[in-house]
Amino acid sequence: MSFHRYRPRLPGGELAPMPWPVSLYRVLNHVAWPLEAESGRWIVFLDRLMIFLGFLVFCEHNEVDFHYLIANRQDMDNLLTGMPTYLILVEMQIRCFQLAWHKDRFRALLQRFYAEIYVSEEMEPHLFASIQRQMLATRVNSTVYLLALFNFFLVPVTNVIYHRREMLYKQVYPFDNTQLHFFIPLLVLNFWVGFIITSMLFGELNVMGELMMHLNARYVQLGQDLRRSAQMLLKKRSSLNVAIAYRLVLTHILRRNAALRDFGQRVEKEFTLRIFVMFAFSAGLLCALFFKAFTNPWGNVAYIVWFLAKFMELLALGMLGSILLKTTDELGMMYYTADWEQVIHQSDNVGENVKLMILVTLAIQLNSRPFFITGLNYFRVSLTAVLKIIQGAFSYFTFLNSMR
């Protein structure tokens, strides 16, 4: 069914270029990635059936993972061995299937992004190159997450070498899962869950990053156009219509600004719940991962790589959020430095000068509050919020280590 999954297109109809993590996300994650708008009824029905079966698989994993925690509740070391996989399973079940419920809305957001916001390399090579530099951390993070998944996938190899029948994750089943007719299907489900979780982790991060950084580039472009317009009008040395022309330019800039803010609010609506869930689970997950890595580094290589991936994921998202916050915050100051006072000084039309000053005042008021992505309005996505999570995680680790 991968050929029925939505493939973004540019306004001209050609296929939009997608970074490799997003392309991999589209291929691997049938639960989260939307279908094409013109998909037939049977394709939609089959997709929803697969989502429902996938939800049941996640519920089954949830039960056996939690059963492992209950069985080892008296042993802190074993308890914390199973804790990270259980936490990420619950987090991904909420995030992934919440997105599956709103697939059409997500597709509409991507369609609008590529139609209105996307900055192409051909039209704006410098801005595009800047976006690629900003997204470098998310690309590296995707690679580290794949390495973490690879470490878990080494379990079948060790099973063959040492003649064992262990699952990829720490699980306790209510029956003998080592019997071959149970073991093989359950191991396959382990692999499937691993692909869904990992692709969701790095895929959604890259999608959010692309949306935020291209939106950020459009805001940068907005400021450049405003300053350039004022300079061009002042060079004409016209004293009669300069205020009228500048007012028309400023009105157009404000409309573009309103469209960008509306798109940003759509992004906020789409991701706010999933960001809240991600941040809510992050402190406990980082704590458990670091505890396992610290207490037995050679025996927990998978947890070390996973810790690095999670750490980088939070820092990358926080950095991107801070970039967008800083740009939109500076946008409010842009109107103070847009040379409108020089336009008024050069213009002889008093009535138009008054109208221009009123419009400038309105523009400053409208942009007095920067735009930022939040987690259900509880926090802003920024490096400050990420550092607080990391600080909390290490506080939990200190407490657990003292108990140990």
pLDDT digit string, tens, across residues 344-369: 777 777 788 788 888 888 888 877 78
Other beta carbons within 10 Å of 178? 13
pLDDT attached to residue 239? 55
Dist. CA 295–CA 304, nearest whole Å: 11
Whether 51 has a pLDDT exceeding 90, the answer reads: yes
Q: Quick one: which of 231, 244, 309, 282 has its CA closest to 389?
A: 282
Average pLDDT, the chain: 90
The DSSP call for residue 7 is -
Here the tokens at position 184 are 């093989």
Q: What is the mean pLDDT of residues 11-33?
A: 93
> Phi and psi for 169 in degrees, rounded to 5?
-125, 165
Whether 93 has a pLDDT exceeding 80, the answer reads: yes
Here the tokens at position 270 are 């789409």
pLDDT attached to residue 354? 84
Other beta carbons within 10 Å of 126? 10
Whether 54 has a pLDDT exceeding 70, the answer reads: yes
pLDDT attached to residue 226? 83
Residue with tokens 């094409």: 36
* Torsion, Cα of 280, 286, 289, 292 (10° steps): -120
The mean-pLDDT minimum among 87-101, 159-173, 321-335 falls in: 321-335
Residue with tokens 């580094």: 297
Q: What is the mean pLDDT of residues 240-269?
A: 88
pLDDT attached to residue 2? 56
Q: Quick one: which of 84, 96, 97 has its CA closest to 169?
A: 84
Residue 35, helix vs strand vs coil: strand
pLDDT attached to residue 169? 93
Please, which pLDDT band fits residue 146 given cuts at 50, 70 and 90?
very high
Please, which pLDDT band fits residue 249 given cuts at 50, 70 and 90?
confident
Whether 237 has a pLDDT exceeding 70, the answer reads: no
Dist. CA 37–CA 49, nearest whole Å: 18
Residue type for 285, please? L
Contact 8, 111 (CB under 8 A): yes
Q: Give, in degrees to the nearest 5, the angle at Cα 214 between 209 and 220.
A: 125
Q: What is the mean pLDDT of residues 14-39?
A: 94
234 or 124, greater pLDDT: 124
Helix axes 383-403, 242-295, angle to 10 degrees: 10
pLDDT digit string, tens, across residues 204-221: 999 999 999 999 999 999
Dist. CA 298–CA 304, nearest whole Å: 9
The DSSP call for residue 5 is B
Contact 284, 310 (CB under 8 A): no
Here the tokens at position 224 are 């450049």
Instruction: Give me the residues paired with residue 374 across strands.
Output: 380
pLDDT attached to residue 240? 59
